[in-house]
Structure 1
Amino acid sequence: SLALERAENDDAAAQTLIGTIYANGLGVGQNLALASSWYAIASQNGDIAATFELAQLYQNGTGVPKNRQRAAELFNIAAEAGHREAMYNMALLHVEGIYAEPNLALGASLMEKAAEAGLAEANYDYGIMLMEGVGVPPNQTLGANYIGVAAQFGLVEAQVEYATFLYLGKGVEQDRAEAILWYMRAAEAANPVAQNRLAKLYAVGEGVPLDLQTAAMWRSLARRQGLNDPGLETLLISIAPEDIKRAEERAFYWPGETPDERGPGASVLQQSPAVQTRLINRP
């Protein structure tokens, strides 16, 4: 192919493309060892995307023997060239202090750069660092702002955190109506913490209409993901049996139509989003 011809003529971008083709099995059999070879060549020729991809392979031990020290070295090269995911990973490595120099201030600086480059996870983590004063002077207002940006990007855990800040007035002006909207977004994305908190609000009618049946529905959804809250059980102790039954039906068919509207069918309960690995694995 043209890409292979260019790769064999030392075109770094083409070499990275060939590496990606083999890494993902795009039209060819997946071959991570061959992908790593092409990434290594492209990296040597100065392609930063290839350097980052090669670092990931060493980080995970795919296509090459697992070597987190080598991964850190490659992440650092890419970070110094301005690769935002590499900056994020190096920030975490500096905070961890095992495969990179223990340096909270440097970690915070890199995290800020990755956040300013538009990486949702970096906005969230830098916000937490500001809230807790990790590597930077504590600043709840600025921290809440970064976490709010991450929430706007769609990072569900940030949406839950930001909702809590709004609800409590922590780092932001208290706005419980907006807090409930953020809890709702996260709950609809199948976050069990948000579902549990919505259940409590409906159980007491705080910021939303008092509705034990809806509270029980959100409780059921959170329970399915392993979140049990004795305090919520106490709030729902007076719920009528028919409301419990209806709540379970609504949870079974959530999200979407009720059984009466759609008829019997398989559950469409959304699965909980995968927990962030805290090492970005995609460019």
Structure 2
Amino acid sequence: MAPFQLAECYRSGVGTNQDHTKAAGLYRSLAERGILQAQIALGRCYENGEGVDQGYTTAIEWYSKAANQGSEDGRLHMVFYYDQGVSKSCEKGFEWYSKSADQGHSYGQYMVGYCYFYGNGVTQDYAKAAEWYRESAEQGNRYGQYYLGGCYKNGHGVPEDVETAAFWYRRSADQGHQYSINQLKSLGK
């Protein structure tokens, strides 16, 4: 599906200048036609404020549309994890993210790590957080890479190691993750 691939190129800046607004517009045109991947991608745009005004309620609406068509990823993202316009249920969120993580989904693995790191829906455990971030990071998830870099930078659940932190920040930064780029600059890398 060429329009979706073009949107992905705009989102990541591969082969063209990065343009989240154009990416979101293409995702929207496909999402409105019922394309599952585009509905999830548009939900992520709203969740992260990429190319659109951040809106958790709108993000969940798009995730719900995908979930209602049978998308496991849509179901995962639809979790009422965020306390932004929907009921908060960290325990339910952790349950759904764990199911996804156990099936090898990198975003679910990252979110399980996030839950362990902050104690959302589960007892806080930096070591388990780092383990799940690593699972996600090794699959190429830029968020898992960024947060694993943070674990190494600050010695949370792993030995403090600035070089390893820079390694993971760099992998995330190569995907355009701005916070990782900022961390590399602050480390002088």
Aligned to 2:167: 145
Question: In structure 1, how many angstroms separate the alpha carbons of the residues matched to 2:62 and 2:179?
Answer: 37
> How much has 1:160 moved relative to structure 2?
2.2
Please tell me the residue identity of whatever aligns with 2:156.
V
SS of residue matched to 2:174: helix
Which runs of 5 or more structure 2 residues have no equivalent in the other structure?
Answer: 1-33, 44-57
Tell which structure's C-alpha radius of gyration is larger.
Answer: 1
Q: Pairwise mapping of residues 63-78 of structure 1 onto structure 2 (< 5 A)? A: 65-78=87-100
TM-score normalised by L of structure 1? 0.42
What percentage of aligned pairs have identical amino acids?
A: 19
Aligned length, in residue pairs: 139
Q: Pairwise mapping of residues 1-283 of structure 1 onto structure 2 (< 5 A)? A: 17=36, 20=39, 36=64, 39=67, 42=70, 48-55=72-79, 58-60=80-82, 65-166=87-188
1:41 and 1:62, CA in 2 relative to 1: closer, same or farther beyond 3 A? farther
TM-score normalised by L of structure 2? 0.60
Q: Contact 2:110/2:133 (CA < 8 Å) preserved in 1?
A: yes
> How much has 1:80 moved relative to structure 2?
1.0
Q: Contact 1:48/1:83 (CA < 8 Å) preserved in 2?
A: no
Q: Contact 1:130/1:137 (CA < 8 Å) preserved in 2?
A: yes
Please tell me the residue identity of whatever aligns with 1:49.
D
1:93 and 1:16, CA in 2 relative to 1: closer, same or farther beyond 3 A? farther
SS of residue matched to 1:78: helix
Question: In structure 2, how many angstroms separate the alpha carbons of the residues matched to 1:75 and 1:139?
Answer: 28
Q: Contact 1:16/1:49 (CA < 8 Å) preserved in 2?
A: no
Question: In structure 2, how many angstroms separate the alpha carbons of the residues matched to 1:97 and 1:159?
Answer: 27
Question: In structure 1, how many angstroms separate the alpha carbons of the residues matched to 2:87 and 2:35?
Answer: 20
Question: In structure 2, how many angstroms separate the alpha carbons of the residues matched to 1:35 and 1:158?
Answer: 26
1:37 and 1:101, CA in 2 relative to 1: closer, same or farther beyond 3 A? farther
1:33 and 1:61, CA in 2 relative to 1: closer, same or farther beyond 3 A? farther
Aligned to 1:275: none
> How much has 1:60 moved relative to structure 2?
3.8
Q: Contact 1:76/1:90 (CA < 8 Å) preserved in 2?
A: yes
1:38 and 1:143, CA in 2 relative to 1: closer, same or farther beyond 3 A? closer
